[in-house]
Amino acid sequence: MEKLAHALTDYLLSKGKIVEEKSRIYQYGFQIGLEVSLNTMVSIWIAIFCHMEWETIIFFGVFILLRSYAGGLHMRTYISCLICSCMSLLGLLLVVKYVNMTSFSSMLIILFSLVAIKALSPVLDINRPVSSKELIKFAKKLNYSMAGILFFSLVLLFMQLNRLLSMVAATTLFTVFILLAGKIKYRVDSKIMEQNNGDIR
């Protein structure tokens, strides 16, 4: 993706559409756009293949809300991120499709997961420093997101849409594991950085 974004930027430069000073901005924008587009296309294909379009929409809606403000695991390369995200989506869809969860068990999982997410957050990344003001802002937005997810879950419960409710449960529980993995990675990366700084000294 990086090479393709670089090629697109060079093409625009050669045509005089952009100036050299802004080439890095355009290249970054192209790369992010291409990566998101590919991820979206693969996810849509998985949803259609499994005949679970609404479940996929719920997965991304719930996961993005929680992931944006709670943090989580960051992969080192785009390819590894793409593979893990698509395999995770496929796995959750298959679980929801073939494992029959009662509405009661789904609500218990959702409640447990939201409490765990609140307790574990924020999960930071060594390459993305966050200020104290940002942490406060993220915490507030996470609270609103969790309240919205809980309300949405109650609506699904009232409407007896059990499979969609189980998708919310699977997604929130999956987010807990992502946060745990992110915390472990942060500790490992922090130790490696401390060791490298010690070696430099």
- Residue 28 has a pLDDT of 66
For the chain, the domain total comes to 2
Phi-psi category of residue 16: left, alpha or beta, with phi > 0 → left and psi -120 to 50 → alpha: left
Q: What is the DSSP string of 123-171?
A: B-BTTB---HHHHHHHHHHHHHHHHHHHHHHHHHHHTT-HHHHHHHHHH
Q: What is the pLDDT of residues 80-113, one digit of tens each?
A: 888 888 999 999 999 999 998 999 999 999 999 9
Distance in angstroms (rounded) separating the CA atoms of residues 200 and 19: 39
176 and 81 part of one domain: yes
95 and 9 part of one domain: no
61 and 44 part of one domain: no
76 and 131 part of one domain: yes
Its domain, for residue 21, covers 1-50
89 and 177 part of one domain: yes
Q: What is the pLDDT of residues 45-72, one digit of tens each?
A: 999 999 999 999 999 999 999 998 998 7
8 and 67 part of one domain: no
Q: What is the pLDDT of residues 107-161, one digit of tens each?
A: 999 999 999 999 998 887 766 767 788 888 989 999 999 999 999 999 999 999 9
